[in-house]
Amino acid sequence: MAQVPIYFCMPLIGRSAAKDWQKVCRLLDQTLHSILSQPGDVRVFIACNEVPETSFGDDKRVRFLVMESPPPANITEMRRDTRSKRARVIDEVVASGGGYVVRVDADDLISNRLTRHIVADDNRVGYLFKRGYTYNVATKEFRLSRSFDRLAAPAASYSWVRTIWARNPFPERSPGAAIPNSGNAAGQSAGRLPRSPSRLRST
């Protein structure tokens, strides 16, 4: 059976909106390294205002989706810009056939056990991260959170791996039919999600 693609999707701040563009690019490189070092059919979709300087620019697993809208000029426009970029990457996932979707930011570090677990388990529904690391930039300290999915935003909004499909991946089931104890065919939460191993995602 062919492996289900695992899409890491992120919105990237524009150069004009960034306080330190070189730092943005440097952190993006670290994030991409943590993602692309993993096994499986890994793909990265990055919605951006311009293509950043990165060591992974020629990697075929990375796709830069340049937005047609102008870079944001204020906080309100930045929020709207982020929402538009998130919608753009999801549109690309659907157009590509769908699969597992992991939302990340350009300064996240992903556990090297994440895709290995997804490939091995492959429940076709999704996963909830119960534990994860947070990093305090000011004190340079890591802290393990044992309730990562209940942290305040934005961390909690990134504590899921969802499935998004271009069509019903379970032809023997009608669209929207419940999958016992896990979810429905659209990948939405319905009951318990399978318990994921600890420390799957580091931030």
Q: Is residue 148 part of a domain?
A: no
Q: Is residue 75 part of a domain?
A: yes
What is the count of structural domains for the chain? 1
| CATH number for the domain harbouring residue 178 | 3.90.550
Domain residue limits at 107: 6-129+153-194
Report how far residue 116's alpha carbon sits from residue 172's, in angstroms, rounded to the nearest whole number: 27
The pLDDT of residue 84: 94
Q: Is residue 35 part of a domain?
A: yes
Strand 6-11 with 42-48, pairing: parallel
**Interior/surface letters 29-47, b for 16+ CB within 10 angstroms, e for the rest:** bebbebbbebebebbbbbb
Q: Is residue 82 part of a domain?
A: yes
The pLDDT of residue 13: 93
The pLDDT of residue 1: 57
**Rounded mean pLDDT, 141-170:** 61
The pLDDT of residue 176: 35
Q: Is residue 70 part of a domain?
A: yes
Q: Is residue 76 part of a domain?
A: yes
**Rounded mean pLDDT, 115-133:** 85
Strand 62-66 with 42-48, pairing: parallel
Q: Is residue 138 part of a domain?
A: no
Give the pLDDT confidence of 45-72 residue by residue, as tens digits: 999 999 999 999 999 999 999 999 888 8
Report how far residue 24's alpha carbon sits from residue 42's, in angstroms, rounded to the nearest whole number: 22
Q: Is residue 46 part of a domain?
A: yes
3-state secondary structure of 16: helix
Asked if pLDDT for residue 105 goes beyond 80, the answer is yes
